[in-house]
Amino acid sequence: MDTMSKDDLLNTFETAHSSGDALMVTRPDLPPLEEFTAYLEKIWDRKWLTNNGLFHRQLEERLADYLGVGHVSLFSNGTLALLSALQVLRIKGEVITTPYSFVATSHALNWNGITPVFCDIDPLTLNLDPARIEALITPNTTAILPVHVYGNPADVREIERIADVYGLKVIYDACHAFGVREGRESILNYGDLSVLSFHATKIFTTMEGGAIVTNDAKLKQRIDYIKNFGFADETTVMAPGINGKMNEMQAALGLLQLKYVDERIRARERLSRLYRELLAGLPGLTLLHRAPEVEHNWAYFPVFVEEGGRDALYGALRERNIYARRYFYPLISHFPMYRGLPSAVPENLPVAEAAAQKVICLPLYPAMEEADVERVCGVVASVIKSYSYSEPESVI
Ligand code: T4K
């Protein structure tokens, strides 16, 4: 019962869909089908399917407005947006990043021929620990690639200070941070670029999709060349670009999703607060720190279980048709293509190593009922009580 193959997951998902009683770690939110069909009819009429279509342009503008940022460049997925962000800023050599993320964060470096340098994380936020960054800087370091993991803001000010001192670029993997604000300022306004994902598992989805956010109009222009093979006009190619374009169906879905995203974030918040209330004070269980001054998007509900209890909980939940996921275990630094790097040595990453052993993300999505949360918490409490933990843990 250690892990599930992709086929097992899909079968489980199909069975769950028909039985109605399974809880997955997440389920996408979709608008009413007839609203989408109306957009499809317009696409069919216009026969303009991709390459900066009308819905694409509308979504870029509407998103920039909604997010409170200068410019948005849409992509067909978050990984292509990450790859392109590194290209646009011509990042090379070594980049300091976190091992506690989805593997795409480091893969984007790898695909650009850049060496990831893993830095340990902060025990409270689980984001890059700025106090450990400077020791990893070498003459080959060109940038920092932090992640706002679970939508919790990284220490943007301290990272900016270090980047300024050493002349480094900063690209935020903000794939979890759609709509997150700190002191009313969008978290996406920090660093040189921020990258979003609109994958089916994200709080704002276009099925697949992503974006690069910038406040620099010239950079936005370069990003738009790069995602369209480098074309500036019919005959001029400005850069070795790629095909990263979002199509009109994705953009249409995005326009509709914007209508509903606020109410969905509120539903997530309600469910998250219920989880927190029901799980508070269980010995051996730590909840994710959520800073009160942050406007959260309530993406993910990770909990951290002490001393080997995590996998028992994962198994017990599955026996009851509850498919929690261990995001982010294993650490990226454990995967074969990265584990030989000097920075991947587990002794250098104690906080990330511990978090990866303890974490489990419980189901969270707006269509869940309060009774679903109670059901999950019942299993968590019964497993936790079977371990003799003495007192609540406060940090990872
Ligand atoms: N950086 C970060 C920090 C990221 O988290 C991600 C993506 C990226 C970069 C890259 O962005 P993209 O290129 O993906 O835009 C999922 C997602 O595939 C991935 O997008 C996401 N992070 C990651 C955290 O999670 P899996 O392999 O766990 O997904 P999967 O297919 O097992 O789905 C999880 C559950 O979601 C299913 O059990 C049920 C539900 N689900 C999923 C899909 C695809 C649905 O209900 N419907 C669906 O269509 O990676």
Q: What's the CATH code of the domain at 114?
A: 3.40.640.10
- In a domain, residue 174? The reply is yes
Q: Which residues contact 180 (CB under 8 A, 6 or more apart)?
A: 148, 151, 153, 174, 186, 187, 188, 294, 295, 296, 297
Domains in the chain, number: 2
Residues 54 and 193 in one domain: yes
| Calpha distance 128→71 (Å, rounded) | 26
Q: What is the pLDDT of residue 81?
A: 98
pLDDT of residue 107: 98
- In this prediction, residue 21 carries a pLDDT of 85
CATH code of the domain in which 378 resides: 3.90.1150.10
Are residues 265 and 247 both part of a single domain? no
| Nearest of 191, 208, 190 to residue 199 by alpha carbon | 208
| Cβ of 77 below 6 Å from ligand 1 | yes
Q: How far is CA 93 from CA 86, 113, 366, in A?
A: 11, 8, 42
Q: How far apart are CA 322 and CA 379, in angstroms?
A: 9
**CB-based burial, 105-129: b 16+ in 10 Å, e otherwise:** bbbbbeebebbbbbbbbbbebbbbb
Residues 189 and 74 placed together within one structural domain of the fold = yes
Q: Is residue 1 part of a domain?
A: no
Instruction: Give the C-alpha separation, 381 to 243, whole Å.
Output: 48
- Express as a percent the part of the chain with pLDDT over 90: 90
Whole-Å CA distances, 270 to 45, 99, 202, 395: 41, 30, 18, 24
| 127 and 237 co-located in one domain | yes
CA distances from 152 to 10, 208, 265, 362 (A): 29, 22, 14, 17
Name the residue at shortest CA distance from atom 15 of ligand 1.
Answer: 78
Judge if the beta carbon of residue 24 lies within 6 A of ligand 1.
Answer: yes
Which residue, judged by its Cα, is nearest atom 43 of ligand 1?
A: 200
Ligand 1 mutation target, pool 83, 199, 208, 364, most atoms within 8 A of CB: 199
Rounded to the nearest 5°, which phi and psi values hold at 82? -65, -45
Q: How many contiguous H segments (helices) and E segments (strands) does the chain have?
A: 11, 15
For the Cβ of 357 lying below 6 angstroms from any atom of ligand 1, the answer is no
> Is there a domain that residue 396 lies in?
no
Residue 395 forms part of a structural domain: no
Do 328 and 185 lie in one domain? The reply is: no
Pocket test for ligand 1, best of 12, 102, 176 (most atoms within 8 A of CB): 102
175 within some domain: yes
Q: For residues 87 and 134, state if they share a domain.
A: yes
Dist CA 112 CA 90 (whole Å): 10
> Is 274 a domain residue?
yes
Helix (H) / strand (E) containing 187? none
φ, ψ dihedrals at 43, nearest 5°:
-65, -45
Q: Is 290 part of a structural domain of the chain?
A: yes
Of ligand 1's listed atoms, the one at least distance from the Cα of 209 is: 15
Structural domain span for residue 368: 6-28+261-387
139 with 92, same domain?
yes
Pair 139, 231 in one domain: yes
Q: Ligand 1 in contact with 100 (CB < 6 A)?
A: no
Q: How many CB atoms lie within 10 A of CB 340?
A: 7
**Positions of the chain with pLDDT under 70:** 1-4, 6-20, 388-396
**Distance between CA atoms of residues 357 and 269, nearest Å:** 26
pLDDT of residue 214: 98
Q: Is residue 325 in a domain? A: yes
Q: Tell whether ligand 1 has an atom less than 6 A from the beta carbon of residue 151.
A: no
Over residues 291-317, the pLDDT tens digits come to: 999 999 999 999 999 988 999 999 999
Q: Which of 206, 224, 256 is the last residue of a domain?
A: 256
109, 145, 201, 328, best to mutate for ligand 1 pocket (most atoms within 8 Å of CB): 201
Measured between alpha carbons, how far is residue 21 from residues 16, 29, 322, 363, 372 in Å? 6, 18, 9, 13, 9
Same domain flag for 46 and 167: yes
Burial class (CB in 10 A: 0-12, 13-18, 19+), 135: exposed
* 348-395 pLDDT tens trace: 999 999 999 999 999 999 999 999 999 999 999 999 988 766 655 544
| 12 and 57 fall within a common domain | no
* Tokens linked to 167: 């002349």
Q: What is the pLDDT of residue 9?
A: 61
Same domain, yes or no: 149 and 104: yes
Out of 256, 277, 298, a domain closes at 256
Domain boundary among 219, 236, 256: 256
CA-proximal residue: ligand 1, atom 4 (nearest): 102
Q: How far is CA 124 from the centre of its chain?
A: 18
For residues 265 and 355, state if they share a domain. Answer: yes
